[in-house]
A and B are shown apart, each in its own frame.
Chain A
Amino acid sequence: MKRFAALFTALDQTTKTNAKVDALAAYFTAAPEDDKLWTIALLSGRRPKRTVVATRLREWAADRAGLPLWLFEECYPIVGDLAETMALILPDATRDSDRSLTHWIGEIRALAKLDDPEKRARILDAWDQLPKIERFVFNKLITGGFRMGVSQKLMTRALSRATGIDEPDLAHRLMGDWQPDSTSFESLILTHDPEADLSKPYPFYLAYQLDGGPATLDAPPGDWAAERKWDGIRGQLILRGGNHYLWSRGEELMTDRFPELARLIDHVPPGTVLDGEVLAWKDGAPLPFNALQKRIGRKTVPKALLRDAPVILYAYDLLEWDGQDIRARPFDDRRGLLEDVASGVPEDMPLRLSPLVSFDDWDRLAKIRDGSREHMSEGIMLKRRDSPYRDGRKRGDWWKWKVDPLTIDAVMIYAQQGHGRRANLFTDFTFAVWDGDQLVPFTKAYSGLTDAEFRKITAWVRKNTLERYGPVRQVTPQHVFEIAFEGIQESPRHKSGVALRFPRMSRWRHDKPLSEANTLADLKDMLAAYG
């Protein structure tokens, strides 16, 4: 664990990307194979299952530190991290040990079979032999929320440097349904065999936001293909060896959630991989996102839901064809092949082609974009016609040109402290609109302000708290914020009767008095227009 803790410290002690890559590459060169594999797993979001509930951990840590639980609970929101709070209050370790990362993960997983008193004894024993940073890392592993300030992209770069394997190739090897138990560093990274895992997806290519409009692009309109941007779930559908697999962008296997796609096995040849949007679809058009939302959380789907919110894959790219990886071929070629594939699929099948929109100049495209909401679309996607299908978020070939968000001016009424790097700052707020002389809460928002603004509002919240409900503070209604959001839906679960999609604070309206915030009637009008 010392080596891993040293890596963690090195990453934590620099804000510079190169220094992080250096530290990781050095680790990937020197660490034992099983630790390397676990480190890759952790940095790509694969964590050991939780084997102890957080409530017990807090009790045991407070007890070990000789502190009442209420005091621990006061500290936690200030520190903003459970694992760190425990690491900080515990007395110093009395022993030293140097067991590997893999050893400690094994210990944590072994807890699953034990009863609480045995778990407690093991954990206290671990705390007593792990110095500060190692103890924090151990707590992070056991509470399950490990982030180290390293993106998968950075990790891939470091791994590439340590192994000499190309980054895009590595990114592909790291995809899919592997776990440290089911593979080894050798077979996952070094002697990768693409045949071995038929479910393995390709890395998704992610578009950048086009802030300045298409006139800022470095090529004329004729060089670009345009499509509408759909508000569904990005999905990669793999048909290989008589099976199908559906992956989310977050590398989650979603095959069982959308069983209707299984019918495609009979109509799309094996050795085909499609990129597209999973959409709830009825009568030739997408349903609003909340129809799809009902499907997302369900591992098994009841019949009624299958009938009310059936899904399709709205395909827009072809990554593998006839068993060949065709990502290097130009977009136009891939699109042509995709159209061939789609044309062989009967119309009642859950596969459709996301149409290209034709335009001659940017003005025309801007007009098409203006009609996005009527088409249940979020804006326009621009793809360079001669570009390959890249991996990860790379600037230049794919752009998303979203419609401007909807906005409403709302009053802040509750505030709560954030977590992680926002610890000790009030960053999570509840907003309300007027209903007569009452303020009705309708949304929460956490993002959009600068650090300096968060500090300013934090100082204000401390001085203007009316009431405390656990970690939540009711504050004097005084500040008006412009809330931007992508969509609005009816919601019986909310007091206001509406739910927003991707709400965030777009502006602090210092210029607006309380009385000029929007009303519930304004929200209902937006619901009628865009819901």
Chain B
Amino acid sequence: MAESLLSFTDRGIYCAAGDFFIDPWRPVDRALITHGHADHSRPGMGRYLATGAAAPVMRHRLGDIAIDTIAFGERRQINDVIVSFHPAGHVPGSAQIRVEHRGEVWVVSGDYKTTPDGLSEPFEPVRCHAFISECTFGLPVFKWAPEDDVRAELNDWWRRNAADGKTSIIGAYALGKAQRLLTSVDPGIGPILTHGAVENTNTVMRHQGIALPDTLRVTPDMDPKAQKGALVVAPPSALGTPWARRFGPSSTAFASGWMAMRGVRRRRAADRGFVISDHADWPGLNAAIAETGAERIFVTHGYTSIFRRWLESQGYDAAIVETEYEGESLDAAEPEDAA
């Protein structure tokens, strides 16, 4: 049997015909990167290739790296294969990577979300023979509400807190989720304050032309109590720390797909849990997989064994691939971990 177009090695997903890796987790010479999150975009690679929109954040996080950029949809030859990057809808600049060799097409999804969020380039299904898919939320209990409903809920929470003289503090990933929140809320309600980790990413994104509402970086010399009715966007790890207590009376919240489960929500010492994820829900995963037309599906991080069995029952040839990707970490939303 001929060697398959992509293989799974202890360094990451490898393409022998093109001699490159996709989202490797150990140093390699040539790495194609789906997006800038730390579990997909790691330091130490000889050369990086990523979309133009993903590159600034990668530079910001990884420092002085040798990075080449590519536009969405642009076809580029690497050795014997043609590669192209297609929107994954996960965070700005995130891509699925399509690899073609002698008529055979494989797609690596990276992380993806099928519904538009108004910030990331909307997900585009890509036809292929084999699809390597994440399945962070690969259970039928995960079904995201329409974006408008979630926005209304979020604004309602902020508005009510502001009226009660409370600060609204929400925990969200500094890259992606935080900016999505910023573009979801109504800036008319009050000032928006940001934790340094979030504001640094904002700066990078604004610089590359992504429109974000005005925000105010929280600094040691700021009087937080002067910012009446503010919304504070911070990494989840900042909640419950002295940093968060400076704002006086407050209502706290997390934004994560895991908040769909009441048990997880109640474990958090936060008042609210908004079900907002940058990953595909159950209908999204199933629709995306169907639209690729692929017969072979490799499932990576998430509820892999359950999801694989489901795909098998739907007539796919499905297999589990062990990777070091983390998806949307359940633990990252728990404040004690990072304290």
Contacts and interface: CB of A to CB of B under 8 A. Distances in A.
Interface of A: 12-16, 65, 67-68, 70-71, 74-75, 78-81, 84-85, 88-89, 149, 419-425, 451-452, 455, 459
A67 B309 CA distance: 13
Contacts of A85: 141
B139 A14 contact: no
Interface string B267-286: 10111100000000000000
Contacts of A421: 263, 266-267
A455 B264 contact: no
Interface of B: 139-143, 260-267, 269-272, 303, 306, 309-310, 313, 330-331, 334, 336-337
Given A78-B261, A78-B303, A420-B263, 4 more contacts: A71-B309, A85-B141, A88-B142, A421-B267
Contacts of B140: 65, 67, 71, 75, 88-89
Contacts of B267: 421-422, 425, 451
Contacts of B269: 15
Given A13-B272, A75-B140, A78-B141, A149 B336 contact: no
A15 B270 contact: yes
A469 to B, nearest CB: 15
B263 A452 contact: no
B284 to A, nearest CB: 15
B336 A451 contact: yes
B260 A88 contact: yes
12 contacts: A12-B265, A15-B271, A68-B313, A70-B309, A74-B139, A79-B263, A84-B261, A419-B263, A423-B261, A423-B264, A425-B267, A451-B334
B264 A424 contact: yes
Contacts of A84: 261-263
With a 10 A CB-CB cut-off, give which of B143, B270, B303 has the most chain A CB atoms: B143
B141 A423 contact: no
B334 A455 contact: yes
Nearest to A84: B262
Contacts of A452: 334, 336-337
Contacts of B336: 451-452
Contacts of A455: 331, 334, 337
Contacts of A425: 267
A12 B264 CA distance: 12
A422 B264 CA distance: 7
Contacts of A74: 139, 306
A422 B271 contact: no
Contacts of A12: 262, 265-266
Nearest to A74: B306
B261 A13 contact: no
B176 to A, nearest CB: 23
Contacts of B313: 68
A15 B268 CA distance: 10
Contacts of B310: 71
Contacts of B260: 88
A75 B309 CA distance: 13
Q: Please give me the 7 A-B residue pairs with the lowest Cβ-Cβ distance, nearest first.
A: A423-B263, A88-B141, A421-B266, A80-B263, A74-B306, A89-B140, A452-B336
B164 to A, nearest CB: 10
Most chain A CB within 10 A, of B264, B270, B303, B334, is at: B264
Nearest to B139: A75
Given A68-B313, A88-B143, A455-B334, A13 B271 contact: yes
A65 B139 CA distance: 13
A372 B271 CA distance: 44
Nearest to B331: A455
Nearest to B258: A424
A149 B143 contact: no
A257 to B, nearest CB: 35
A68 B306 CA distance: 12
A459 B330 CA distance: 11
A68 B266 CA distance: 29
A482 to B, nearest CB: 22
A420 B262 CA distance: 8
A81 B263 contact: yes
Contact of A16 (B261, B266, B271): B271
Contacts of B306: 71, 74
B242 to A, nearest CB: 18
B238 to A, nearest CB: 17
Nearest to A132: B145
B138 to A, nearest CB: 10
A16 B271 CA distance: 8
Contacts of A79: 141, 261, 263
A85 B141 CA distance: 7
Contacts of A15: 269-271
A14 to B, nearest CB: 5
A102 to B, nearest CB: 24
A80 to B, nearest CB: 5
B42 to A, nearest CB: 21
A81 B270 CA distance: 20
A149 B263 CA distance: 12
A424 B262 contact: no
A15 B262 CA distance: 13
